[in-house]
Structure 1
Amino acid sequence: MDYFEFYGLPESFELDAAQLKKKFYELSKKYHPDFYTAESAEKQEEVLQLSTLNNKAYQVLSDPNKRVDYILRQHHLLAEGDKYPLAPDFLMEMMELNEQLTDAGDEATFNQIKTSVKEASDALEAELAQQTKGFSSKTKAEQDAALKKVLDIYYRKKYLLRIQESLNTFATR
């Protein structure tokens, strides 16, 4: 079952955290297995599955990055093992950052790289916010166009995250 449908919410990249939490607790009470101990084994299994679904749905929808991943998968834009073609200029920029990181011999250079990565990350977050704003109220064609742009942002963020992990590795040396 679709997590948004399960919570009775429109598909959206922007969710009201308080509303989501309220719905989670409401369904947690409704589907708590302890309230169904006198029921049949089939009913207990059904409630256990709904309780598990509630926990998984909340875990995904409450995390903005997992929510993006989930929405892209729901629209069949993301699958395991996909080879997404990133723009050559982005790849060149990331390759330059990786080379700088490999050659970084002093703290000043390392901090400069950290700043560049942070700026790139912030720019991607701003671009993502722009593409996802008001998603549920867009037309189908507008949603499709936004989803394609979100997919590109998603892959660029993943690439940048790998560089961030390399930065963290270098920082602990």
Structure 2
Amino acid sequence: MNHFELFDITPVYALDLADLQLRYRKLQQAMHPDRFANASERDKLLAVQRTSQLNDAYHTLRDPLLRAEYIVSLRGVDMQHEQKTLQDPEFLMAQMAWRERVEELNVGDFAAIDEAFADLERETKLLQNTLEQQIEANANEEAADTIRKLKFMQKLGRELEALEDE
């Protein structure tokens, strides 16, 4: 049973997260291992396994990037084990520009860091919109490339946060 089937929802990128959370809570209550305290050891183990699967499914579906990766994997694109790199020269140039920008930021220059965060957020939203369109159109290989781009943007965001924390 895949994650969408577990929650009895259509496998789409644009999920109603409030509905997902409601379904999660209902399933969590029904599957919680405490409800099986007086059951056999086998049933207790199954309850723990189902709860683990439920938590993993919820974690995956509530995160837009993990959800997208999961959708394209259901469609036959193996994102976990592939070593494919992006062949988009324009994005590779943008990566280099971002790297230079982050390296040039000074610790304590909060205005420049905030500006970088704002630019990163704007570009990330554009990529997320593109990703949603690609998934809806079943353009799975293109979606996989966009996921790779978003992973880079996510990593940059973590680097900016670390710089801000310093």
TM-score normalised by structure 1 residue count = 0.77
Q: How far apart are the structure 2 equivalents of 1:37 and 1:23? A: 23
Q: How far apart are the structure 2 equivalents of 1:115 and 1:47? A: 44
Structure 1 residue 172, shift from structure 2 partner: 4.0
* 1:151 and 2:152 are equivalent in the alignment: no
Structure 1 residue 35, shift from structure 2 partner: 2.1
2:40 aligned partner? 40
Q: Which one has the largest radius of gyration?
A: 1
The answer to whether the 8 A contact 2:7-2:23 is kept is yes
The answer to whether the 8 A contact 1:86-1:155 is kept is no
2:10 aligned partner? 10
Q: How far apart are the structure 2 equivalents of 1:149 and 1:44? A: 43
The answer to whether the 8 A contact 2:13-2:64 is kept is yes
- Residues 1:172 and 1:42: Cα distance change in structure 2 (over 3 Å): closer
Q: How far apart are the structure 1 equivalents of 2:34 and 2:121? A: 47
- Residues 1:74 and 1:172: Cα distance change in structure 2 (over 3 Å): same
Q: How far apart are the structure 2 equivalents of 1:24 and 1:159? A: 30
Return 5+ residue gaps in structure 2 as ranges. Answer: none
Q: How far apart are the structure 1 equivalents of 2:163 and 2:60? A: 31
TM-score normalised by structure 2 residue count = 0.79
- For residues 33-112 of structure 1, what are the structure 2 equivalents within 5 Å? 33-77=33-77, 78-80=79-81, 82-104=83-105, 107=109
What's the RMSD between the two structures over aligned residues? 2.6
Instruction: State, as a whole percentage, how many aligned pairs show the same letter.
Output: 23
What amino acid is aligned across from residue 126 of structure 1 in structure 2? N
What amino acid is aligned across from residue 165 of structure 1 in structure 2? R
What amino acid is aligned across from residue 101 of structure 1 in structure 2? V
Q: How far apart are the structure 2 equivalents of 1:34 and 1:111? A: 46
1:139 aligned partner? none
Q: How far apart are the structure 2 equivalents of 1:128 and 1:73? A: 14
The answer to whether the 8 A contact 1:33-1:48 is kept is yes
1:171 aligned partner? 164
1:121 aligned partner? 124
Structure 1 residue 114, shift from structure 2 partner: 4.2
The answer to whether the 8 A contact 2:65-2:150 is kept is no
1:26 aligned partner? 26
Return 5+ residue gaps in structure 1 as ranges. Answer: 136-141
Q: How far apart are the structure 2 equivalents of 1:7 and 1:161? A: 27
Q: How far apart are the structure 1 equivalents of 2:123 and 2:80? A: 25
Structure 1 residue 69, shift from structure 2 partner: 2.3
Structure 1 stretches of 4+ with a deviation exceeding 4 A read 104-115
* Partner SS, residue 14 of structure 2: coil
